Amino acid sequence: MQKGLKIRLYPNNSQINILNVIFGHTRFVYNYFLDYSKNNKDYKYTSWSKKLTELKNNEETKFLKEADKFALQNSLRNLKTAYDNYFSKRAKEPVFKKKHNTQAYRTNYTNNNITLYEKGIKLPKLGIVKCKYGKDIRDNKIISVTIKLLKSGIYEASIIYECEEQTLINTGKSVGIDLGVRKLITTSDNEKYISELDIDRLNNKIRKEQKKLSKCKLHSNNWNKQRKRLAKIYQYKDNYMLDKIHKATKAIVVKYDIIYMEDLDIIDLVSKQKLKKQKRKMLTSSLGKIRTLLEYKCEHYGKTLKKIDRYYASSQTCSNCGKTYKVKSNEIYKCPHCKLIIDRDYNAAKNIINYGLTHN
């Protein structure tokens, strides 16, 4: 199966100049053929590819030969995918790319043009670029590499590689998990992962830096420095949360064979929040990312993920007596029928596994 690995790149000045050239050329190709398809009503990749060859041989646009050929071809494929999604009504109509958006391009592996070393990676047109990575995949076959320039000024590469499917030892255990905001994951064994305090600490830091940015003169040197400083904090938060979620989901998949969770409609959940603070917490809680990582890890390691009815009132039902009580957004659930006092998320997780075991 195919997996991905992100690594940090440290290009030198000459490599940065080459990267800027490739970013610009791939953006030019995307925008050129977007305009061409609109004017000529031609949405076929084959005709675009022939036209791209003509552009490379044209005197005015022969500068396209300076870029990695796979980067230009993949730019056309990205445009084709965007149009396919648009015609299938899965997305809006493609728009022109701007220089100030996140810059990226993808190159493919062929004839050892991409090689990963201990402290570097060889990339087409760039040579060996210094890098840092945690997982050693030098024995695996590389499929493609996507190079990005983030808004924080950091360069990163996403490597897609082939690996053998892995299986974990069966434990014979089942678990129900409740996804929330105060504690992102609570299991039916009363284990909690990722506290709200971790997220609040980073959000407070972002608010302070955002306030400083608002006081800077727009597009001044100080404004640009503060913008990069704020972007780095956002990047740190994303990496921090992703690391926490990866570790939490891996621990659950290793420990349990069958995992039950609610089939959440996250867009509907956000729209139902009346307070802006609650909406912001729901949006930054990464509930969708948790579900996605659990799905692919269960598939990768041979475990089972089962989703229960999204309309089951797991938070409003007592796990002891089974009667329903409309509790407010309190952390403690107090049942007026059997007098049970229990953590609300833990109570919901117990209801989820009970429902899953009886209905599956």
Contacts of 136 (CB under 8 A, 6+ apart): none
- Per the residue annotation, which of 262, 268, 295, 299 is the catalytic one? 262
**Adjacent-strand bridge partners of 129:** 121
Q: Which of 68, 257, 343, 345 is catalytic?
A: 345
Mean pLDDT over each residue of the chain, to the nearest integer: 88
Task: Flag whether pLDDT at 180 surpasses 80.
Answer: no
20-24, 192-196, 227-231, 342-346: least confident range: 192-196
Residue 178 among the catalytic residues: yes
Q: Which amino acid is at 252?
A: I
Q: Is the pLDDT of residue 288 over 60?
A: yes
| Rounded CA separation 262/309 (Å) | 6
Burial class of residue 238 in the structure, from the number of CB atoms within 10 Å of its CB (0-12 exposed, 13-18 middle, 19+ buried):
middle
Range list of β-strands (E), 171-316: 174-179, 183-187, 192-195, 258-262, 304-308
Question: Is 136 marked active-site?
Answer: no
Q: What is the mean pLDDT of residues 135-143?
A: 89
Residue 31 has pLDDT above 60, yes or no: yes
Q: What confidence score (pLDDT) does residue 278 get?
A: 55
Residue count of the chain: 360
**Intra-chain end-to-end CA distance of the chain, in Å:** 29
pLDDT band of residue 312 (cuts 50, 70, 90) is: confident
Whether pLDDT at 358 is above 80? yes
* Secondary element (H or E) of residue 157: strand 155-162
Strand-pairing partners, residue 9, are: 131, 155
Angle (deg, nearest 10), helices 69-87 and 13-40:
40
Catalytic residue, from 68, 178, 257, 343: name it.
178
Spatial separation of the C-alpha atoms in residues 193 and 293, rounded to whole Å: 15
Does the pLDDT at position 269 exceed 80? no
- Measured between alpha carbons, how far is 5 from 98 in angstroms, rounded to an integer? 27
67-102 confidence digits (pLDDT tens): 999 999 999 999 999 999 999 999 999 999 988 877
Residue 35 bears catalytic tag: no
Average pLDDT over residues 107-111: 93
C-alpha angle 62-67-71 in degrees, rounded to nearest 5: 120
Residue whose pair of structure tokens reads 């808004």 in the numeric block: 151
Three-state secondary structure call for residue 53: helix
Whether 227 shows a pLDDT value over 70: the answer reads yes
Domain assignments of the chain as residue spans, ordered by start: 2-162, 174-359
Task: Encode 206-226: b = buried (16+ Cβ within 10 Å), e = exposed.
Answer: eeebeeeeeeeeeeeeebeeb
Instruction: Tabulate helix, strand, coil % of the chain (nearest 5).
Output: 45, 20, 35
Indicate the SS3 state at residue 169: coil
**268: which 2 tokens?**
């509907």
pLDDT in the model for residue 79:
96
Q: Cα–Cα distance between 129 and 147 in angstroms, integer?
A: 12
Q: Specify the pLDDT at position 47.
A: 94
